[in-house]
Structure 1
Amino acid sequence: MIVNDRITDYIRSLESDRSPLLSKIGKKARQDNVPVIREETAAFLQTMTAAIRPKAILEVGTAVGYSTLLMAEVMPSDCHITTIEKYEKRIPLARENFKEAGESGRITLLEGDAQDILKGLSGPFDLVFMDAAKGQYLLWLPRILELMSPGGMLISDNVLQDGDIIESRYAVERRNRTIHGRMREYLYELKHSERLTTSVVPIGDGITVSILK
Protein backbone atom coordinates (compact mmCIF):
# COMPACT_ATOMS: atom_id res chain seq x y z
CA MET A 1 0.00 0.00 0.00
CA ILE A 2 1.18 3.52 -0.77
CA VAL A 3 -0.48 5.01 2.28
CA ASN A 4 -0.68 3.59 5.79
CA ASP A 5 -2.50 0.25 5.72
CA ARG A 6 -4.66 1.22 8.70
CA ILE A 7 -5.83 4.36 6.91
CA THR A 8 -6.63 2.35 3.79
CA ASP A 9 -8.56 -0.23 5.81
CA TYR A 10 -10.51 2.53 7.54
CA ILE A 11 -11.40 4.21 4.22
CA ARG A 12 -12.60 0.88 2.87
CA SER A 13 -14.66 0.26 6.01
CA LEU A 14 -16.64 3.42 5.27
CA GLU A 15 -17.80 2.15 1.88
CA SER A 16 -21.44 1.22 1.57
CA ASP A 17 -22.31 -2.10 -0.05
CA ARG A 18 -22.17 -2.16 -3.81
CA SER A 19 -24.96 -3.64 -5.90
CA PRO A 20 -25.10 -7.45 -5.71
CA LEU A 21 -23.85 -7.73 -9.31
CA LEU A 22 -20.89 -5.39 -8.86
CA SER A 23 -19.99 -7.08 -5.59
CA LYS A 24 -20.07 -10.46 -7.32
CA ILE A 25 -17.95 -9.24 -10.26
CA GLY A 26 -15.38 -7.60 -8.01
CA LYS A 27 -15.09 -10.58 -5.65
CA LYS A 28 -14.75 -13.11 -8.48
CA ALA A 29 -12.18 -10.97 -10.30
CA ARG A 30 -9.98 -10.66 -7.23
CA GLN A 31 -10.24 -14.39 -6.52
CA ASP A 32 -9.09 -15.07 -10.10
CA ASN A 33 -6.30 -12.45 -9.91
CA VAL A 34 -7.92 -10.32 -12.58
CA PRO A 35 -6.50 -6.78 -12.31
CA VAL A 36 -9.55 -4.72 -11.30
CA ILE A 37 -9.35 -1.40 -9.50
CA ARG A 38 -9.10 -1.26 -5.71
CA GLU A 39 -12.17 -0.27 -3.73
CA GLU A 40 -10.91 3.16 -2.66
CA THR A 41 -10.06 3.87 -6.31
CA ALA A 42 -13.49 2.64 -7.35
CA ALA A 43 -15.15 5.17 -5.05
CA PHE A 44 -12.97 7.95 -6.46
CA LEU A 45 -13.76 6.96 -10.06
CA GLN A 46 -17.48 6.98 -9.36
CA THR A 47 -17.26 10.36 -7.64
CA MET A 48 -15.41 11.94 -10.57
CA THR A 49 -17.83 10.42 -13.07
CA ALA A 50 -20.82 11.76 -11.16
CA ALA A 51 -19.18 15.18 -10.77
CA ILE A 52 -18.43 15.89 -14.43
CA ARG A 53 -21.59 14.26 -15.84
CA PRO A 54 -19.94 13.11 -19.10
CA LYS A 55 -21.78 12.50 -22.35
CA ALA A 56 -19.09 10.17 -23.67
CA ILE A 57 -16.51 8.05 -21.80
CA LEU A 58 -13.48 6.22 -23.17
CA GLU A 59 -11.95 3.40 -21.12
CA VAL A 60 -8.66 1.77 -22.10
CA GLY A 61 -8.57 -1.61 -20.36
CA THR A 62 -11.90 -3.34 -19.79
CA ALA A 63 -10.78 -6.56 -18.08
CA VAL A 64 -14.12 -8.07 -16.97
CA GLY A 65 -16.01 -4.78 -17.03
CA TYR A 66 -15.91 -3.93 -13.32
CA SER A 67 -14.76 -0.32 -13.67
CA THR A 68 -16.94 0.09 -16.77
CA LEU A 69 -20.05 -0.77 -14.77
CA LEU A 70 -18.94 1.39 -11.85
CA MET A 71 -18.98 4.39 -14.20
CA ALA A 72 -22.21 3.30 -15.87
CA GLU A 73 -23.91 3.16 -12.47
CA VAL A 74 -23.47 6.91 -11.87
CA MET A 75 -23.18 8.46 -15.36
CA PRO A 76 -26.09 10.36 -16.99
CA SER A 77 -28.68 8.23 -18.75
CA ASP A 78 -27.66 9.57 -22.17
CA CYS A 79 -23.94 8.87 -21.67
CA HIS A 80 -22.15 6.16 -23.65
CA ILE A 81 -18.96 4.26 -22.78
CA THR A 82 -16.50 2.99 -25.36
CA THR A 83 -14.13 0.49 -23.77
CA ILE A 84 -11.12 -1.33 -25.23
CA GLU A 85 -9.80 -4.78 -24.28
CA LYS A 86 -7.05 -6.86 -25.85
CA TYR A 87 -7.03 -10.02 -23.71
CA GLU A 88 -9.39 -12.37 -25.55
CA LYS A 89 -10.20 -14.65 -22.61
CA ARG A 90 -11.74 -11.79 -20.60
CA ILE A 91 -13.88 -10.31 -23.36
CA PRO A 92 -16.78 -12.83 -23.25
CA LEU A 93 -17.07 -12.42 -19.48
CA ALA A 94 -17.11 -8.63 -19.80
CA ARG A 95 -19.89 -8.82 -22.39
CA GLU A 96 -21.82 -11.21 -20.15
CA ASN A 97 -21.47 -8.80 -17.21
CA PHE A 98 -22.68 -5.87 -19.33
CA LYS A 99 -25.69 -7.88 -20.45
CA GLU A 100 -26.53 -9.00 -16.91
CA ALA A 101 -26.34 -5.38 -15.76
CA GLY A 102 -28.69 -4.30 -18.55
CA GLU A 103 -26.06 -1.90 -19.88
CA SER A 104 -25.16 -3.44 -23.25
CA GLY A 105 -26.93 -0.60 -25.05
CA ARG A 106 -24.80 2.07 -23.37
CA ILE A 107 -21.47 0.27 -23.62
CA THR A 108 -19.45 -0.51 -26.75
CA LEU A 109 -16.62 -3.00 -26.23
CA LEU A 110 -13.90 -2.86 -28.88
CA GLU A 111 -11.62 -5.89 -29.14
CA GLY A 112 -7.94 -5.53 -30.00
CA ASP A 113 -4.79 -3.55 -29.39
CA ALA A 114 -5.49 -0.08 -28.01
CA GLN A 115 -2.79 1.54 -30.15
CA ASP A 116 -4.58 0.43 -33.33
CA ILE A 117 -8.11 1.05 -32.09
CA LEU A 118 -7.37 4.56 -30.82
CA LYS A 119 -6.28 5.59 -34.32
CA GLY A 120 -9.73 4.79 -35.68
CA LEU A 121 -11.81 6.40 -32.96
CA SER A 122 -13.49 9.76 -33.21
CA GLY A 123 -14.25 11.82 -30.11
CA PRO A 124 -14.76 13.91 -28.30
CA PHE A 125 -14.73 12.11 -24.94
CA ASP A 126 -15.44 14.02 -21.75
CA LEU A 127 -13.85 11.38 -19.50
CA VAL A 128 -11.04 8.95 -20.26
CA PHE A 129 -10.11 6.20 -17.83
CA MET A 130 -6.72 4.59 -18.51
CA ASP A 131 -6.18 1.23 -16.84
CA ALA A 132 -4.33 -1.09 -19.20
CA ALA A 133 -0.68 -1.85 -20.03
CA LYS A 134 1.21 0.61 -17.84
CA GLY A 135 4.23 0.74 -20.13
CA GLN A 136 2.03 2.06 -22.97
CA TYR A 137 0.46 5.06 -21.25
CA LEU A 138 3.06 7.46 -22.63
CA LEU A 139 2.66 6.04 -26.14
CA TRP A 140 -1.12 6.44 -26.06
CA LEU A 141 -1.19 9.90 -24.50
CA PRO A 142 -0.89 12.07 -27.67
CA ARG A 143 -3.85 10.32 -29.31
CA ILE A 144 -5.85 10.34 -26.08
CA LEU A 145 -5.48 14.13 -25.89
CA GLU A 146 -6.68 14.46 -29.48
CA LEU A 147 -9.81 12.50 -28.58
CA MET A 148 -10.65 14.50 -25.45
CA SER A 149 -13.04 17.42 -25.33
CA PRO A 150 -11.73 20.76 -23.99
CA GLY A 151 -12.06 20.63 -20.23
CA GLY A 152 -12.22 16.85 -20.39
CA MET A 153 -10.78 14.67 -17.65
CA LEU A 154 -8.17 11.91 -17.95
CA ILE A 155 -7.84 9.49 -15.02
CA SER A 156 -4.87 7.11 -15.08
CA ASP A 157 -4.61 4.20 -12.64
CA ASN A 158 -1.63 2.34 -11.13
CA VAL A 159 0.82 5.19 -11.64
CA LEU A 160 2.75 4.76 -8.38
CA GLN A 161 3.39 1.04 -8.84
CA ASP A 162 2.96 0.04 -5.19
CA GLY A 163 5.43 2.74 -4.22
CA ASP A 164 8.21 1.50 -6.54
CA ILE A 165 7.96 4.68 -8.60
CA ILE A 166 10.08 6.57 -6.03
CA GLU A 167 12.89 4.01 -6.18
CA SER A 168 15.96 4.08 -8.38
CA ARG A 169 15.56 1.89 -11.49
CA TYR A 170 18.27 -0.36 -10.03
CA ALA A 171 16.23 -0.89 -6.87
CA VAL A 172 13.28 -2.42 -8.74
CA GLU A 173 13.24 -5.90 -10.23
CA ARG A 174 14.99 -6.10 -13.60
CA ARG A 175 11.80 -7.25 -15.35
CA ASN A 176 9.99 -4.12 -14.12
CA ARG A 177 12.62 -1.54 -15.03
CA THR A 178 11.23 -0.66 -18.46
CA ILE A 179 7.74 -0.03 -17.09
CA HIS A 180 9.23 1.87 -14.15
CA GLY A 181 11.12 4.21 -16.48
CA ARG A 182 8.17 4.72 -18.81
CA MET A 183 5.81 5.51 -15.95
CA ARG A 184 8.22 8.11 -14.60
CA GLU A 185 8.29 9.70 -18.07
CA TYR A 186 4.50 9.59 -18.22
CA LEU A 187 4.11 11.32 -14.87
CA TYR A 188 6.64 13.97 -15.85
CA GLU A 189 4.77 14.61 -19.09
CA LEU A 190 1.42 14.93 -17.32
CA LYS A 191 2.81 17.39 -14.80
CA HIS A 192 4.79 19.49 -17.30
CA SER A 193 2.49 19.53 -20.33
CA GLU A 194 1.18 23.01 -21.09
CA ARG A 195 -2.07 21.40 -22.21
CA LEU A 196 -2.85 19.69 -18.91
CA THR A 197 -3.50 20.49 -15.28
CA THR A 198 -2.66 17.34 -13.32
CA SER A 199 -2.84 16.09 -9.75
CA VAL A 200 -1.24 12.87 -8.50
CA VAL A 201 -3.47 11.24 -5.90
CA PRO A 202 -1.89 8.58 -3.61
CA ILE A 203 -4.88 6.29 -3.17
CA GLY A 204 -5.06 2.67 -4.24
CA ASP A 205 -2.03 2.09 -6.43
CA GLY A 206 -1.82 5.79 -7.26
CA ILE A 207 -3.92 7.67 -9.80
CA THR A 208 -3.58 10.88 -11.73
CA VAL A 209 -6.36 13.28 -12.61
CA SER A 210 -5.61 15.52 -15.59
CA ILE A 211 -7.80 18.24 -17.07
CA LEU A 212 -7.32 19.24 -20.71
CA LYS A 213 -7.05 23.03 -20.85
Structure 2
Amino acid sequence: MIVNDRITEYIKSLEPQESPLIYEIGKEARENGVPVIREETAAFLKTMTAAMKPKAILEVGTAVGYSTLLMAEAMGSDCQITTIEKYEKRILIASRNFEKAGKTDCITLLEGDAGEILKGLTGPFDLVFMDAAKGQYLTWLPQILKVMRVGGMLISDNVLQDGDIIESRYAVERRNRTIHGRMREYLYELKHSDNLTTTIVPIGDGITVSVRI
Protein backbone atom coordinates (compact mmCIF):
# COMPACT_ATOMS: atom_id res chain seq x y z
CA MET A 1 0.00 0.00 0.00
CA ILE A 2 1.16 3.54 -0.72
CA VAL A 3 0.10 5.04 2.61
CA ASN A 4 0.51 3.70 6.15
CA ASP A 5 -1.21 0.31 6.32
CA ARG A 6 -2.84 1.04 9.70
CA ILE A 7 -4.37 4.27 8.42
CA THR A 8 -5.66 2.51 5.31
CA GLU A 9 -7.23 -0.28 7.38
CA TYR A 10 -8.84 2.26 9.70
CA ILE A 11 -10.34 4.17 6.77
CA LYS A 12 -11.65 0.92 5.29
CA SER A 13 -13.19 -0.03 8.64
CA LEU A 14 -15.37 3.09 8.51
CA GLU A 15 -16.92 2.18 5.16
CA PRO A 16 -20.54 1.05 5.24
CA GLN A 17 -21.32 -2.32 3.68
CA GLU A 18 -21.70 -2.26 -0.10
CA SER A 19 -24.86 -3.73 -1.60
CA PRO A 20 -24.75 -7.55 -1.24
CA LEU A 21 -24.27 -8.10 -4.98
CA ILE A 22 -21.45 -5.57 -5.40
CA TYR A 23 -19.76 -6.86 -2.24
CA GLU A 24 -19.83 -10.44 -3.55
CA ILE A 25 -18.54 -9.38 -6.98
CA GLY A 26 -15.60 -7.57 -5.38
CA LYS A 27 -14.88 -10.36 -2.89
CA GLU A 28 -14.92 -13.09 -5.54
CA ALA A 29 -12.79 -11.03 -7.92
CA ARG A 30 -10.10 -10.38 -5.30
CA GLU A 31 -10.06 -14.04 -4.24
CA ASN A 32 -9.54 -15.09 -7.87
CA GLY A 33 -6.89 -12.51 -8.68
CA VAL A 34 -9.08 -10.43 -10.98
CA PRO A 35 -7.72 -6.86 -11.10
CA VAL A 36 -10.53 -4.81 -9.55
CA ILE A 37 -10.07 -1.53 -7.70
CA ARG A 38 -9.13 -1.58 -4.03
CA GLU A 39 -11.77 -0.87 -1.41
CA GLU A 40 -10.47 2.59 -0.51
CA THR A 41 -10.33 3.47 -4.22
CA ALA A 42 -13.89 2.22 -4.60
CA ALA A 43 -15.09 4.67 -1.94
CA PHE A 44 -13.25 7.52 -3.67
CA LEU A 45 -14.70 6.63 -7.07
CA LYS A 46 -18.24 6.50 -5.71
CA THR A 47 -17.83 9.88 -4.03
CA MET A 48 -16.42 11.53 -7.16
CA THR A 49 -19.22 10.06 -9.27
CA ALA A 50 -21.84 11.41 -6.89
CA ALA A 51 -20.14 14.82 -6.85
CA MET A 52 -19.86 15.03 -10.65
CA LYS A 53 -23.51 14.10 -11.29
CA PRO A 54 -22.47 12.86 -14.77
CA LYS A 55 -24.85 12.24 -17.62
CA ALA A 56 -22.37 10.09 -19.54
CA ILE A 57 -19.51 7.97 -18.14
CA LEU A 58 -16.78 6.17 -20.07
CA GLU A 59 -14.89 3.33 -18.40
CA VAL A 60 -11.80 1.82 -20.01
CA GLY A 61 -11.37 -1.62 -18.44
CA THR A 62 -14.56 -3.34 -17.26
CA ALA A 63 -13.04 -6.51 -15.81
CA VAL A 64 -16.04 -8.18 -14.13
CA GLY A 65 -18.07 -4.98 -13.74
CA TYR A 66 -17.25 -4.16 -10.11
CA SER A 67 -16.27 -0.52 -10.61
CA THR A 68 -18.95 -0.13 -13.29
CA LEU A 69 -21.66 -1.05 -10.81
CA LEU A 70 -20.14 1.13 -8.10
CA MET A 71 -20.49 4.14 -10.42
CA ALA A 72 -23.96 3.03 -11.51
CA GLU A 73 -25.01 2.95 -7.85
CA ALA A 74 -23.76 6.51 -7.26
CA MET A 75 -24.89 8.20 -10.49
CA GLY A 76 -28.25 9.74 -11.35
CA SER A 77 -31.04 7.77 -12.98
CA ASP A 78 -30.52 9.57 -16.31
CA CYS A 79 -26.82 8.70 -16.62
CA GLN A 80 -25.40 6.18 -19.10
CA ILE A 81 -22.14 4.22 -18.76
CA THR A 82 -20.12 3.01 -21.73
CA THR A 83 -17.53 0.46 -20.64
CA ILE A 84 -14.82 -1.31 -22.67
CA GLU A 85 -13.36 -4.78 -22.13
CA LYS A 86 -11.45 -7.14 -24.44
CA TYR A 87 -11.11 -10.36 -22.43
CA GLU A 88 -13.94 -12.72 -23.40
CA LYS A 89 -14.13 -14.55 -20.07
CA ARG A 90 -14.47 -11.29 -18.16
CA ILE A 91 -17.00 -9.94 -20.66
CA LEU A 92 -19.30 -12.89 -19.96
CA ILE A 93 -19.00 -12.46 -16.20
CA ALA A 94 -19.51 -8.68 -16.39
CA SER A 95 -22.60 -9.09 -18.59
CA ARG A 96 -24.08 -11.53 -16.08
CA ASN A 97 -23.34 -9.15 -13.22
CA PHE A 98 -25.03 -6.25 -15.00
CA GLU A 99 -28.12 -8.41 -15.55
CA LYS A 100 -28.18 -9.48 -11.89
CA ALA A 101 -27.96 -5.84 -10.84
CA GLY A 102 -30.76 -4.82 -13.22
CA LYS A 103 -28.50 -2.23 -14.87
CA THR A 104 -28.45 -3.39 -18.49
CA ASP A 105 -30.55 -0.40 -19.52
CA CYS A 106 -27.93 2.12 -18.38
CA ILE A 107 -24.70 0.19 -19.11
CA THR A 108 -23.35 -0.45 -22.61
CA LEU A 109 -20.51 -2.96 -22.72
CA LEU A 110 -18.28 -2.63 -25.78
CA GLU A 111 -16.20 -5.69 -26.57
CA GLY A 112 -12.73 -5.37 -28.08
CA ASP A 113 -9.45 -3.49 -28.01
CA ALA A 114 -9.77 -0.13 -26.27
CA GLY A 115 -7.42 1.59 -28.68
CA GLU A 116 -9.64 0.70 -31.64
CA ILE A 117 -12.95 1.33 -29.87
CA LEU A 118 -11.90 4.76 -28.61
CA LYS A 119 -11.33 5.88 -32.20
CA GLY A 120 -15.01 5.31 -32.93
CA LEU A 121 -16.47 7.08 -29.91
CA THR A 122 -17.78 10.63 -30.11
CA GLY A 123 -18.91 11.45 -26.57
CA PRO A 124 -19.02 13.87 -24.97
CA PHE A 125 -18.37 12.16 -21.65
CA ASP A 126 -18.53 13.91 -18.28
CA LEU A 127 -16.48 11.32 -16.39
CA VAL A 128 -13.85 8.90 -17.68
CA PHE A 129 -12.45 6.12 -15.49
CA MET A 130 -9.28 4.50 -16.82
CA ASP A 131 -8.34 1.13 -15.33
CA ALA A 132 -6.95 -1.11 -18.07
CA ALA A 133 -3.50 -1.81 -19.56
CA LYS A 134 -1.26 0.61 -17.68
CA GLY A 135 1.32 0.78 -20.44
CA GLN A 136 -1.35 2.13 -22.82
CA TYR A 137 -2.61 5.08 -20.76
CA LEU A 138 -0.39 7.57 -22.57
CA THR A 139 -1.32 6.15 -25.98
CA TRP A 140 -5.03 6.43 -25.24
CA LEU A 141 -4.90 9.91 -23.71
CA PRO A 142 -5.30 11.97 -26.93
CA GLN A 143 -8.47 10.09 -27.86
CA ILE A 144 -9.77 10.33 -24.30
CA LEU A 145 -9.37 14.11 -24.44
CA LYS A 146 -11.31 14.23 -27.72
CA VAL A 147 -14.37 12.60 -26.16
CA MET A 148 -14.26 14.47 -22.81
CA ARG A 149 -16.22 17.66 -22.42
CA VAL A 150 -14.58 20.78 -21.05
CA GLY A 151 -14.98 20.51 -17.29
CA GLY A 152 -15.09 16.73 -17.58
CA MET A 153 -13.05 14.55 -15.23
CA LEU A 154 -10.57 11.77 -15.94
CA ILE A 155 -9.72 9.38 -13.11
CA SER A 156 -6.82 6.97 -13.73
CA ASP A 157 -6.06 4.04 -11.40
CA ASN A 158 -2.84 2.20 -10.47
CA VAL A 159 -0.53 5.08 -11.34
CA LEU A 160 1.96 4.62 -8.46
CA GLN A 161 2.58 0.92 -9.08
CA ASP A 162 2.81 -0.11 -5.43
CA GLY A 163 5.39 2.64 -4.90
CA ASP A 164 7.72 1.47 -7.68
CA ILE A 165 7.04 4.65 -9.63
CA ILE A 166 9.57 6.56 -7.49
CA GLU A 167 12.35 4.07 -8.22
CA SER A 168 14.81 4.31 -11.11
CA ARG A 169 14.01 1.97 -14.00
CA TYR A 170 16.97 -0.23 -13.00
CA ALA A 171 15.56 -0.73 -9.51
CA VAL A 172 12.34 -2.33 -10.78
CA GLU A 173 12.06 -5.83 -12.21
CA ARG A 174 13.11 -6.04 -15.83
CA ARG A 175 9.66 -7.21 -16.96
CA ASN A 176 8.09 -4.07 -15.42
CA ARG A 177 10.51 -1.50 -16.82
CA THR A 178 8.51 -0.63 -19.94
CA ILE A 179 5.30 -0.03 -17.99
CA HIS A 180 7.27 1.87 -15.34
CA GLY A 181 8.70 4.22 -17.96
CA ARG A 182 5.40 4.73 -19.73
CA MET A 183 3.57 5.48 -16.49
CA ARG A 184 6.17 8.10 -15.59
CA GLU A 185 5.63 9.69 -19.00
CA TYR A 186 1.87 9.57 -18.48
CA LEU A 187 2.06 11.30 -15.11
CA TYR A 188 4.36 13.97 -16.52
CA GLU A 189 1.95 14.58 -19.41
CA LEU A 190 -1.06 14.85 -17.09
CA LYS A 191 0.72 17.38 -14.88
CA HIS A 192 2.09 19.49 -17.76
CA SER A 193 -0.74 19.31 -20.30
CA ASP A 194 -2.31 22.62 -21.33
CA ASN A 195 -5.64 20.80 -21.52
CA LEU A 196 -5.73 19.37 -18.01
CA THR A 197 -5.31 20.28 -14.38
CA THR A 198 -4.31 17.19 -12.41
CA THR A 199 -3.75 16.02 -8.87
CA ILE A 200 -2.17 12.72 -7.82
CA VAL A 201 -3.87 11.06 -4.87
CA PRO A 202 -1.87 8.41 -2.94
CA ILE A 203 -4.71 6.06 -2.03
CA GLY A 204 -5.01 2.44 -3.07
CA ASP A 205 -2.34 1.96 -5.71
CA GLY A 206 -2.40 5.66 -6.56
CA ILE A 207 -4.91 7.52 -8.69
CA THR A 208 -4.91 10.73 -10.68
CA VAL A 209 -7.82 13.12 -10.97
CA SER A 210 -7.65 15.36 -14.04
CA VAL A 211 -10.13 18.01 -15.15
CA ARG A 212 -10.21 19.15 -18.76
CA ILE A 213 -9.81 22.92 -18.96
In the superposition, the TM-score normalised over structure 1's length comes to: 1.00
Question: What residue is the counterpart of 2:103 in the other structure?
Answer: 103
Question: In the alignment, residue 51 of structure 2 is paired with which amino acid?
Answer: A
CA RMSD of aligned residues (A): 0.4
Q: Aligned to 2:64, what secondary structure does the other structure show?
A: coil
Question: In the alignment, residue 27 of structure 2 is paired with which amino acid?
Answer: K
Deviation at 1:88, TM superposition (A): 1.0
Question: What residue is the counterpart of 1:206 in the other structure?
Answer: 206
Question: In the alignment, residue 65 of structure 2 is paired with which amino acid?
Answer: G
Equivalent positions of 1:132-143 (< 5 A) are: 132-143=132-143
Question: In the alignment, residue 9 of structure 1 is paired with which amino acid?
Answer: E
Question: What residue is the counterpart of 1:42 in the other structure?
Answer: 42
Please give the alpha-carbon distance, in whole angstroms, between the structure 2 residues aligned to 1:34 and 1:148. Answer: 28
Question: What residue is the counterpart of 1:67 in the other structure?
Answer: 67
Question: What residue is the counterpart of 1:195 in the other structure?
Answer: 195
Question: In the alignment, residue 107 of structure 1 is paired with which amino acid?
Answer: I
Question: In the alignment, residue 50 of structure 1 is paired with which amino acid?
Answer: A
Please give the alpha-carbon distance, in whole angstroms, between the structure 1 residues aligned to 2:120 and 2:142. Answer: 14
Question: In the alignment, residue 156 of structure 1 is paired with which amino acid?
Answer: S
Q: How many residue pairs align between the two structures?
A: 213
Please give the alpha-carbon distance, in whole angstroms, between the structure 1 residues aligned to 2:193 and 2:121. Answer: 23
Deviation at 1:151, TM superposition (A): 0.1
Question: What residue is the counterpart of 2:6 in the other structure?
Answer: 6
Please give the alpha-carbon distance, in whole angstroms, between the structure 1 residues aligned to 2:2 and 2:31. Answer: 22
Deviation at 1:122, TM superposition (A): 1.1
Please give the alpha-carbon distance, in whole angstroms, between the structure 2 residues aligned to 1:186 and 1:86. Answer: 22
Please give the alpha-carbon distance, in whole angstroms, between the structure 1 residues aligned to 2:113 and 2:88. Answer: 11
Instruction: In structure 1, list runs of 5 or more residues that go unmatched.
Output: none
- Deviation digits for residues 53-102 of structure 1 (CA, Å, limit 9, x no counterpart): 00000000000000000000010100000000011111010000000000
Question: What residue is the counterpart of 2:57 in the other structure?
Answer: 57
Instruction: In structure 2, list runs of 5 or more residues that go unmatched.
Output: none
Q: Aligned to 2:190, what secondary structure does the other structure show?
A: helix
Question: In the alignment, residue 23 of structure 2 is paired with which amino acid?
Answer: S
Deviation at 1:105, TM superposition (A): 0.5
In the superposition, the TM-score normalised over structure 2's length comes to: 1.00
Question: What residue is the counterpart of 1:32 in the other structure?
Answer: 32
Question: What residue is the counterpart of 2:128 in the other structure?
Answer: 128
Deviation at 1:194, TM superposition (A): 0.9
Question: What residue is the counterpart of 1:119 in the other structure?
Answer: 119
Identity between Structure 1 and Structure 2 (%)? 79
